[in-house]
Each structure stands twice: as structure tokens, then as C-alpha cells.
Amino acid sequence: MKVLVASALILVGSCATLRHSEKIEQLKDSISYDNKKVVEKYLSTITTGELKLYVKEVSSEKYNGRMTGEEGHNDVCNYIRSYYDSLGIKPPKTHPDYYQIVPKSVLPEGLNDSQNVIAYIEGSEFPDEYIYITAHSDHEGVVDGKIYPGADDNGSGTAAVFEMAEAFKKAVLDGNGPKRSIVFLHVTGEEVGLHGSRYYTNNPIFPLEDTVSTLNIDMIGRVDNRHQDNEDYIYVIGADRISTELHFIIQEANYNFVNLNLDYEFNATNDPNRYYYRSDHYNFATKGIPVVFFFNGEHEDYTKPTDTADKINYPLLAKRTKLIFATAWYLANSPERLKPEII
């Protein structure tokens, strides 16, 4: 009798495994790009020259390291909103100056009021469903008399968001605008504790229940020590924590358009670095929103005054930006909304 019970359990377990495998295959088979040539048209607008221009500007010494609440960071936020205004990408109706003020009462002691910068493109078919593309705009400021320029951290992310915003705007002008709304969110206070994104998710401008996904970019312009022999990589963190579908969408985007090595080393739940908890996507994840964190890993200039624009790998930055754009394109234009479920 014991043998029969054991055999029955093995059979049930095998069937369950098979059903799970079938679900995964069905999910993967359902993810495809209807018109790759259209996507490629807008990917081609993401250029190393423009990325370099934006990284150099954001990491310029005139912004004094962009410390949250200080004049240099306020000035770079003004530069960011002026960029969107120049493209004709509008602010939220409730925040016509592009700013969401983050009061000093929610920031660490000694810091002044700061601001998140928000622009968005309204979706043509599902305007009340939102995909966020996020990057923090602040950095370390001036330490011991030395300016910390933060070219990779996070000038690279800021530049990437700029290029994707421009690509989506060109698509709109061509009559190929996204079906869902795209929110470009530049948050403050990341370096001092993820405060800008925490404030936003506690005081959202667009309803969080209507948020499809958040794609967070924090340091994507350099190569870490683990990849000196193969720089064509990006760390993908958190995509499978809330949505199995998001994990496979990124893989499909990568396969079709850029063919980077998607490195999941830091995605492990027991990762001692705990990167999943250390950038702004995490505050969206705590609200049950599917997220992903794109990251190049730490390098010898991480949080140092030597993190300068001349050390950015611009062709690689462009390739990584294209991966994120292709992912956002799919999320914005797929017939069905992304499912926040684990299979």
C-alpha cells in the first residue's frame, strides 16, 4: 500500500510539473513583436552622440554633484524639465511645471525641499494604463571639497530616459504613438535613501492601480570587473519577482533587437548585495507593481569623484538603452495588459 501511495504521489508531481512547463511555454509563445521594422525605426534614433551630450551635461561640474535639495540639483532638474518642454512632451495636468515637490520633512535632516520631475506621453488606446521609465537625478554632491560628478550614477540613466522619450515622441509624430501612457519619472533623493520614489509611490500623480510596470535605470554606462572579457551584458534584477511575463518580455526584446548577455547574478533572493532593495524600483514593487532594475554593477569609480563622462562606454550605453526601449514598447503596445502574476 505504501508503495502504491508513493507511486501515485510521483505521478501527481510529474503531471503538475508538466502543467507548469506547458504554462511557461504558452506564455513564451504568446510574446512577440508584431512589426519589428517599426520598432527598429525608433531604436535607430537612440544614438551614442546624443547620449554623450546628455551625460556630459548632467555630470558637468556646474551642477556641483547634484546633491538633493541643493542649488546644483535644482538646476539639473530645471534642465531636465526644459528638455521635455523642448520636445513637446507634456507634464501631468495637475503639475504643469513638471515638478512634484518632495518636502524636506520627508528627507533626512539637513536637506532642503527637492523635486521629482515628471513628463508623460498619453496612450492612444489605453490612456489610463501607465508604464513608468525611471531614473534618479541626484548624486553625492561635494565631499571634502571634491565634486562627485556621477556620470554613470546616474547620468547614464538620465541620458537613457531622455533618448527613449525622444524616440517615443517621434513615434507619436509618425502616428505610431504608444497605446498605453508612458511616464518619464526622474526622482530625487535616491542616494540618501530612495526618498523621492518613496514619496511618489505614497503620493502618486497617476493611480498606482493603473500602473502596468516600472522600468528603473540606475548605472548602465560602464563595465564591472566580472565582465572585463565580455562587455556585452546588463544585469536584470527583479523582473520575475512579481510578473513571470515581464521576465520573458525582456528576453524576447533582447533576442529580437540587441542580443546582450542578460546577467541574473544579482537577481537571486539571497544576493548579499541586496541590489533589488537599493534603487527606486523597489518602492513600486512594495505596492505590488511589476518592476525591473537595469544595472551595470559597481566599478572602480563607483561613488567617487572619478565617475566622469569620459569613462562611459557610449556604444554599450546605447545598446542597453535600446533593450529598455524595446521592452517599454512591448509593454505599451501589447494587446493585453501585463499580468502581475508568478507562474
Q: What pLDDT does 10 receive?
A: 47
**How many Cα atoms sit within 13 Å of 130 on the Cβ side?**
23
Q: Which grid coordinates are listed for 342?
A: 508568478
In the CATH scheme, what is the homologous superfamily, with its name and number, of domain 31-333? Zn peptidases (3.40.630.10)
Rounded CA gap, 174 and 43, in Å? Answer: 14
pTM of the model: 0.94
Q: Say if residue 154 is preceded by a cis peptide, omega within 30 of 0.
A: yes
What is the DSSP code string of 52-70? Answer: HHHHHHHT-GGGGGGBTTS
pLDDT at residue 4, as a whole number: 44
User: pLDDT digit string (tens) for 33-48?
Assistant: 999 999 999 999 999 9
CB 299 within 8 A of CB 32: no
Bridge partners of 234, per DSSP, are 262
d(CA 116, CA 197): 8
Positions in the chain whose pLDDT score sits under 50: 1-12, 14
Cell numbers 533572493: residue: 269
DSSP assignment of 108-137 equals: -TTPPPEEEEEEEE--SSEEEEEEEEEEE-
Report the distance separating Cα 302 and Cα 150, nearest Å. Answer: 8
